[in-house]
Amino acid sequence: MPSEMYLPPRITPRNLHFAFETSLPADWHSGNPAITSFYDALSLTFPEGERFFISSVRCFASGIFDPKLKADVDAFTAQESVHSREHAGYNALLRARGIPVEKFEVMVKKGTAFVQRHLGRKNQLAATCGYEHYTALFAELILGDERVLAGAHPFYRDLWRWHAMEEEEHKAVAFDVYTAAAKDRLIWLRRVVAMIVVTVDLSLTTFALSLWLMKKRGQIGNWKAWAGSFWYLWISPGVWRRVMRGVFAYMAPGFHPWKRKVKPAVLAWRAYYRARTNRLPAASSIFESATA
Task: Report whether 13 contacts 165 (CB < 8 A).
Answer: no
Q: Find the length of the chain.
A: 292
Which domains occur in the chain, in start order? Answer: 29-291 (1.10.620)
Position 3 pLDDT exceeds 60: no
Residues 152-199 pLDDT 10s:
999 999 999 999 999 999 999 999 999 998 888 899 999 999 999 999
Instruction: Note the helical H segments in 182-238.
Output: 187-216, 223-230
Task: Measure CA of the first residue to CA of the last residue in the chain; give whole Å.
Answer: 35
Nearest residue to 137 via CA among 32, 213, 241, 273: 241
CA distance 177 to 180: 5
For residue range 200-248, list pLDDT tens digits in order.
Answer: 999 999 999 999 999 999 999 999 999 999 999 999 999 999 999 999 9
Q: What is the pTM of this model?
A: 0.91
pLDDT of residue 217: 96
Distances (CA, A) of 72 to 58, 170, 172, 173, 175: 11, 8, 9, 7, 12
Q: E strand or H helix at 161, and its extent?
A: helix 154-169
CB 256 within 8 A of CB 174: no
Separation CA 118–CA 181 (nearest Å): 19
- Give the whole-angstrom CA distance, residue 36 versus residue 160: 12
| Strand spans (E) along the chain | 17-18, 278-279
Question: Could you tell me the CA-to-CA distances from 276 to 92, 195, 200, 285 in Å, in that order?
Answer: 22, 35, 37, 19
